[in-house]
């Protein structure tokens, strides 16, 4: 259906009226809705897999591994912990507040939430965030990507069959419809996408002082560092898998590799072997290899490949009709070249050589650029790796591994700076979609007159002594 400002306003107002009934405050009710969501994903699995293949060329296995299965995992984690998370915290108020010694912190939902999801993981990054919103007791308007049209149709059907519109609804359409949503007063906005659009989202949200969470890819892309002491075969195997996944269209994917020049040739040989072993000599003709979301992204790959043609050491070919472009390794690339100064979000993989003894200089350059969403290091020196990972600024990452940090239960998924703000997954998602309210319960007897006038004279001196005593 074509959306108008009046129609979008009506949807938001309907959800606001429903939220004001207080129905979503009941944790048992939230649990019931989460179970409905989980069952709906299970019941619609084949339809979701078909939609993901139509939009992104994802095989059923990759669709379930990366997009559908993680939603079920997320819901299960929330169901396991929500009663504990939602319970009010009890605190001793302290002697300064005597005799009112009991304070509670209530975890309250924001209200009506707007979830703007991207094309690259249209199921996970819509329904996974929805699960967090429901856990916090919010209603939700889901603005899905117009680029992944088949997934949006599947989501609209799933949501309409599972929830009433006044609780959860899907809104599709382009940027004009997104702006209609952003012009409304929401209580919480969760956006996943690019830093450029995130600035626009923040500007719109500022008009209503709406709380915003942003999950972004990072302005200058995610780094992977391969030291000379790394297990090169293991590193190549994992990096190849990750770059093949969704054809590189992943916000936490490796944007560029920095490899110690002492082992660069050996590493590149291992990387080529890993790509061929996993996807074949002509990835662009392999039906298991995902496609690019639009012809425009394919053309970007062609243009950049042509620009660096003399340095393409693997790949560089594509199938325009199938919109598939092979994983393409470009080497050597200087650290100051444009291709490693912005997020690529495609199967191109620039490789920057560095002298292993000058690793600190490399880290300084990375630190000077915008904070990435992810960072990966491969090395046998665990002490060095832990020092780097505990001093650099980024969203999350791995030592001698790729991407699976986001699959760990109980930990946040988040970015910082140009890679985002806020966090979710499990309890962190519950926290993101609730705000803490502190309430002290006062006493009507035995109240000391410490805070009352007079403040001077002998009485004032005694009050000051007592206050200092209570400060301990």
Catalytic residue among 181, 251, 398, 403: 251
Structural contact between residues 214 and 421, judged by C-beta atoms closer than 8 angstroms: yes
Q: CB-based contacts of 149: which residues, under 8 Å, 6+ apart? A: 55, 172
Q: Is 251 a catalytic residue?
A: yes
Structural contact between residues 170 and 122, judged by C-beta atoms closer than 8 angstroms: no
In this structure, the number of other CB atoms found within 10 A of the CB of residue 97 comes to 15
Q: Is 403 a catalytic residue?
A: no
> What SS3 class is residue 370?
coil
Structural contact between residues 403 and 242, judged by C-beta atoms closer than 8 angstroms: yes
Return the axis-axis angle of helices 27-43 and 69-86, rounded to nearest 10°.
170
Q: Work out the burial of residue 22: count CB atoms within 10 Å of its CB; fewer than 13 is exposed, 13-18 middle, 19 or more buried.
A: exposed
In this structure, the number of other CB atoms found within 10 A of the CB of residue 35 comes to 12
C-alpha distances (whole Å) from 103 to each of 49, 270, 343, 442 are: 49, 60, 47, 9
Catalytic residue among 215, 270, 284, 370: 215
Return the axis-axis angle of helices 45-56 and 149-162, rounded to nearest 10°.
160
| Cα distance between residue 122 and residue 100, in whole Å | 50
Indicate which residues carry an active-site annotation. 215, 251
């Amino acid at each position: 259906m074509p959306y108008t400002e009046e129609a979008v306003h009506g949807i938001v107002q309907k959800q606001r009226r429903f939220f004001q009934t207080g129905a979503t405050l009941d944790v048992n009710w939230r649990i019931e809705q989460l179970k409905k969501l989980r069952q709906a994903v299970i019941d619609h699995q084949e339809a979701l897999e078909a939609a993901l293949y139509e939009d992104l060329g994802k095989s059923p296995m990759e669709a379930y591994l990366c997009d559908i299965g993680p939603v079920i995992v997320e819901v299960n984690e929330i169901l396991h912990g929500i009663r504990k998370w939602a319970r009010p915290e009890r605190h001793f108020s302290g002697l300064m507040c005597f005799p009112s010694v009991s304070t509670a912190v209530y975890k309250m939902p924001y209200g009506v939430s707007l979830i703007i999801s991207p094309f690259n993981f249209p199921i996970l990054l819509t329904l996974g965030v929805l699960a967090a919103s429901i856990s916090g007791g919010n209603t939700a308007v889901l603005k899905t990507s117009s680029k992944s049209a088949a997934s949006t149709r599947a989501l609209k059907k799933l949501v309409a069959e599972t929830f009433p519109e006044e609780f959860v609804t899907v809104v599709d359409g382009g940027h004009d419809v997104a702006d209609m949503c952003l012009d409304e007063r929401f209580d919480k906005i969760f956006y996943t996408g690019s830093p450029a659009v995130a600035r626009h989202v923040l500007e719109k949200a500022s008009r209503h002082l709406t709380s915003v969470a942003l999950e972004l890819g990072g302005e200058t892309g995610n780094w992977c560092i391969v030291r000379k002491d790394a297990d090169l075969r293991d590193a190549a195997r994992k990096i190849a898998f990750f770059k093949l996944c969704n054809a590189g269209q992943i916000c936490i994917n490796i944007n560029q590799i920095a490899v110690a020049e002492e082992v660069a040739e050996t590493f590149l040989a291992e990387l080529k072997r890993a790509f061929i072993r996993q996807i074949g000599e002509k990835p662009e003709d392999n039906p298991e290899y995902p496609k690019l979301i639009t012809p425009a992204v394919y053309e970007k790959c062609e243009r950049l490949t042509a620009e660096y043609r003399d340095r393409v050491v693997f790949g560089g070919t594509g199938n325009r009709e199938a919109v598939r472009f092979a994983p393409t390794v470009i080497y050597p690339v200087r650290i100051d070249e444009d291709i490693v100064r912005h997020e690529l979000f495609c199967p191109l993989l620039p490789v920057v050589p560095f002298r292993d003894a000058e690793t600190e200089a490399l880290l300084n350059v990375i630190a000077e650029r915008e904070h990435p969403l992810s960072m990966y290091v491969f090395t046998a020196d665990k002490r060095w790796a832990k020092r780097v990972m505990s001093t650099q600024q980024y969203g999350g990452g791995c030592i001698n591994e790729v991407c699976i940090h986001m699959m760990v239960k109980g930990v946040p998924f988040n970015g910082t700076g140009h890679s985002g703000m806020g966090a979710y997954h499990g309890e962190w998602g519950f926290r993101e979609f609730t705000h803490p309210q502190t309430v002290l319960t006062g006493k009507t007897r035995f109240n000391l007159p410490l805070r009352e006038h007079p403040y001077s004279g002998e009485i004032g001196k005694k009050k000051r002594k007592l206050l200092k005593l209570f400060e301990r």
